[in-house]
């Protein structure tokens, strides 16, 4: 009886153990089911392939400069008697902007006029003496023909006539010299009226700087004013070899400054330096920006964004769709059967978070997140 009870108890324990194993969450069927779940479709995010325009932009830190400026300086030294314009005043071409004390130069003109008068008087005297010498020579010729005088007397008269002729020539040269000195003195006198005499550009400019005050004594060529032309302005920046090859005159650009926030000003590439600076290995580039309202000022810092390349109809994918497999750039395209199809691609322009695909032709949707877990042919599941 006891033996039968022990056998029944052991049998019940075995059945209980088998039931626990069967009900265990780590049973073999469930393990296989869990393994199957780990191989399900990879969750990914996707975006459509677009077709449209794209541009290659480059932004550079630049400086605004006046396209033309003129330094007003006197051509003679002297005391500044009057200044006719001041900082920020408008100046017309050839306008008198300053006066120097001209007393010394007026005196020089008077002296030159007196020297010219003396030269003319000397010429008149020499001419009279020449006339006398010529009449004497003529008279002696007559006497010599009659044999009343010797040949030597006639030769002496000829020499005298030639000397008087030379004196006349010298007096004429003195007149010419005196006239030149008088003209130079008058020019120096005119230089006491200092003019803004630039040659090219607009008729009106602005005074950017004033360097002197009334009453100062200045030497010749001392700067009095700096006068600038504000429309158009030049935008200057420097580029490295990487960007140099993409630049060419005529390309469009936009200019932004801190003074005007997000407001953009249109510009264009005007000149590109043909050489690089050895110290920086950079080349100078100049843009031209129209400034009819003169809101932009020389000396401002600006951000110049140049459109280096433009494609009207490009195949475009999000930049984050680009991945790399076997040392090649490519993207995963969503196939019709919800599998990942790998395409090695040739990339082109990158604009913000958009990327041009040059080849091959693409359409549909590309994977933008989760592609690290994909291989060619992997099943995928699109999630938001």
Q: Which CATH superfamily is domain 61-67+230-310 in?
A: Efflux pump adaptor protein, beta barrel domain (2.40.30.170)
pTM over 0.85: no
CATH code, 69-196: 1.10.287.620
Percent of the chain with pLDDT over 90: 70
The answer on pLDDT for 135 being more than 50 is: yes
Residue pLDDT, tens place only, 312-366 = 999 999 999 999 988 899 999 999 889 999 999 999 999 889 999 999 999 999 9
Q: What's the whole-number average pLDDT of the chain?
A: 87
pLDDT tens-digit readout, 84-102: 999 999 999 999 999 999 9
pLDDT on residue 39: 52
3 state SS of 376 = coil
What does the DSSP 8-state code read for residue 258?
G
Fold (topology level) of 42-54+312-382? 2.40.420
Domain residue spans of the chain: 42-54+312-382, 61-67+230-310, 69-196
């Amino acid at each position: 009886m006891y033996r039968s009870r022990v056998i029944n108890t052991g049998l019940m324990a075995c059945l209980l153990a088998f039931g626990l194993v069967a009900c265990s969450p780590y049973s073999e069927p469930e393990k296989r089911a869990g393994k199957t779940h780990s191989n399900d479709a990879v969750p990914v995010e996707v975006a459509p392939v677009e077709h449209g325009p794209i541009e290659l932009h480059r932004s550079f830190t630049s400086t605004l400069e006046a396209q033309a400026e003129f330094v007003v300086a006197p051509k003679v030294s002297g005391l500044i008697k009057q200044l006719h314009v001041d900082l920020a005043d408008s100046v017309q071409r050839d306008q008198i902007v300053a006066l120097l004390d001209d007393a010394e130069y007026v005196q020089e003109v008077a002296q030159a006029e007196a020297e010219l008068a003396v030269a003319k008087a000397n010429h008149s005297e020499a001419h009279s003496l020449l006339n006398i010498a010529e009449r004497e020579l003529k008279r002696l010729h007559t006497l010599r023909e009659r044999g009343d005088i010797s040949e030597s007397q006639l030769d002496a008269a000829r020499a005298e006539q030639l000397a008087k002729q030379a004196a006349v020539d010298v007096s004429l040269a003195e007149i010419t010299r005196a006239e030149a000195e008088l003209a130079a003195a008058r020019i120096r006198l005119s230089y006491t009226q200092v003019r803004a005499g630039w040659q090219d550009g607009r008729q009106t400019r602005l005074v950017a700087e004033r360097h002197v005050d009334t009453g100062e004594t200045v030497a010749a060529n001392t700067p009095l004013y700096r006068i600038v032309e504000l429309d158009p302005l030049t935008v200057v920046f420097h580029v490295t070899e990487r960007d140099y090859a993409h630049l060419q005159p005529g390309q469009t650009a936009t200019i932004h400054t801190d003074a005007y926030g997000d407001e953009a000003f249109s510009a264009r590439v005007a000149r590109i330096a043909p050489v690089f600076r050895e110290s920086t290995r950079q080349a100078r580039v100049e843009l031209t920006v129209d400034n009819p309202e003169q809101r932009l000022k020389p000396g401002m810092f600006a951000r110049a964004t140049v459109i280096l390349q433009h494609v009207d109809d490009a195949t475009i994918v999000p930049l984050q769709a680009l991945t790399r497999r076997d040392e090649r750039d490519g993207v995963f395209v969503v196939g019709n059967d919800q599998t990942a199809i790998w395409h090695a691609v040739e990339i082109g322009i990158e604009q913000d978070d958009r990327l041009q695909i040059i080849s091959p032709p693409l359409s549909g949707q590309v994977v933008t997140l989760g592609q690290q877990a994909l291989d060619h042919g992997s099943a995928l599941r699109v999630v938001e």
